[in-house]
Amino acid sequence: MERTLTVIGKGRTATTPDTIQIELCLKATDKNYETVSLIAVKQYNEMCDCLHKVVIVKDEIKTTDYSVTTEYEMRRNTNNTNVRTFVGYTCTHLMKVKLPLDMKHLSDVLSALSTCSAVPSIDLSFTCEDQEAIKQKLLISAAEDAKIKAQVLADASGIELVEICSVQLLSILSDSVSPTRYNNSVRSMNVTAIEMTPDVFESSCEVSYVWSIAPKK
Domain ranges in the chain are 1-16+129-217, 19-127
Measure the CA–CA gap between 139 and 146, rounded to whole angstroms: 10
Mean predicted confidence (pLDDT) in 180-196: 58
Three-class SS state of 2: coil
Q: Which CATH number is 1-16+129-217's, of 3.40.50.2000, 3.40.50.300, 1.10.10.200, 3.30.110.170?
A: 3.30.110.170
Per-residue pLDDT band for 198 (boundaries 50, 70, 90) equals: confident
Radius of gyration of the chain (CA): 27
Measure the CA–CA gap between 112 and 47, rounded to whole angstroms: 9
Strands across the sheet containing 62-76: 62-76, 82-100, 19-30, 121-127, 177-185
pLDDT score recorded for residue 47: 94
Q: How far is CA 188 from the centre of its chain?
A: 24
Measure the CA–CA gap between 28 and 32, rounded to whole angstroms: 11
pTM above 0.85, yes or no: no
| pLDDT tens per residue, range 139-168 | 999 999 999 999 999 999 999 999 999 999
If you ran DSSP here, which 8-state letter would residue 52 be given? H
Q: How far is CA 45 from the centre of its chain?
A: 25
* CATH code of domain 19-127: 3.30.70.2970
Per-residue pLDDT band for 185 (boundaries 50, 70, 90) equals: low
Q: Across all residues in the chain, what is the average pLDDT?
A: 88
